[in-house]
Structure 1
């Protein structure tokens, strides 16, 4: 089981977090230092409080997931890579600014991928189709709202 997903910039700024198990705020803030202080030549697994933190750095972001001690670390690295590929496909070479300004889409993508700390969907095509459907639904609502506001403005003139 995945206990949390954490995306951290190299400067230690948290860009995305999803907690599937309860942790105190003090524990949450210590986690970023755990990964950021490690050297680049060290392995991508860190033991933390009887759990394992698996992380991978892509450009200026660290993608971290915490798992049980007996879970497969390589599978989690694959899930991280799968998440990055989906983000890349959606944003076109995802960067930190994409996550800052479109955090709601990043959370939506993560929720399509993982539910309650378990992998829900492994197909990139299915996730891309679901994201496209969500985007078209949002656009339809925006168009409907703008047409309603236009009607209201015309009625009040």
Structure 2
């Protein structure tokens, strides 16, 4: 199960923080900054998997954004890394070469995409076209 998803820029500023567990807000805040620092300070060519207090951290850097997933101990790290790749490909397809500004100025659309992919920390959709379907339909209605 996925516990959280962070999208963070290379300065460590959070752009998206999505939680799927019911930790207290105080423990989230303290863990959040430590996790971000740990992932950003990790060697560029090193492994994309870390352990943090019983949670596996799976992260990957794309341009100026870090995608960080916190998963249970029994989850497959490579599947989580592949899920991050899938998220980036979906964002690229919708935003046409996604960048940090696309994320910042389209938070509602990003959350719709993530909600289509994840439900209560479980991956419910893997298809790019099906994940973008509701968002493309909303865009069509707005026009």
Q: TM-score, normalised by structure 2?
A: 0.93
Structure that is richer in helix per residue: 1
Q: Which has the larger radius of gyration?
A: 1
Q: Hey, what does 1:112 align to over in structure 2?
A: 116
The aligned residue for residue 11 of structure 2 is 11
RMSD (Å) for aligned C-alpha atoms: 1.2
**TM-score w.r.t. length of structure 1:** 0.85
In 2, Cα distance between the equivalents of 1:56 and 1:34? 13
Could you tell me how far apart the structure 2 residues matched to 1:20 and 1:129 are?
23
Q: Among residues 36, 39, 43, which one is paired with 2:47 in the alignment?
A: 43
Q: Secondary structure at the match of 1:4?
A: strand
SS in 1 for 2:58: strand
Unpaired segments of 5 or more residues in structure 1?
141-157
Deviant stretches of 4+, over 3 Å: none
TM-fit CA distance, 1:135: 2.1
Alignment of 1:64-143 (within 5 A): 64-137=68-141, 139=142
